[in-house]
Amino acid sequence: MKKVVFSVTKAGKNSNRVSGVGYVTDEDLLIPMISKNGKAYIRIFED
C-alpha cells in the first residue's frame, strides 16, 4: 500500500467533497472516515 493525498468530489446538485490522506492498494483507494455517530470506519473506492 502507498500513502497518498486525495480529493474526491461527488458530481450533482448536492456536490460533496472529501479530501485528506489515504492509502492505495493495487486497485482501490482506502480512506479513513468518521460517521455521524462518531465511530471510525474505512471507506473503499474501487477502481
CB atoms within 10 A of CB 21: 10
Residue for cell digits 446538485?
Answer: 13
The answer to whether the predicted template modeling score (pTM) of the entire model surpasses 0.75 is no
20: left (phi over 0), alpha (psi -120 to 50) or beta: left
- Taking 90 as the threshold, does the pLDDT of residue 12 lie above it? no
Overall average pLDDT of the 10-22 stretch:
83
Q: Tell me the average pLDDT of the chain.
A: 89
Determine the straight-line distance between the first and last CA of the chain, rounded to whole angstroms: 15
Interval 18-33 mean pLDDT: 92
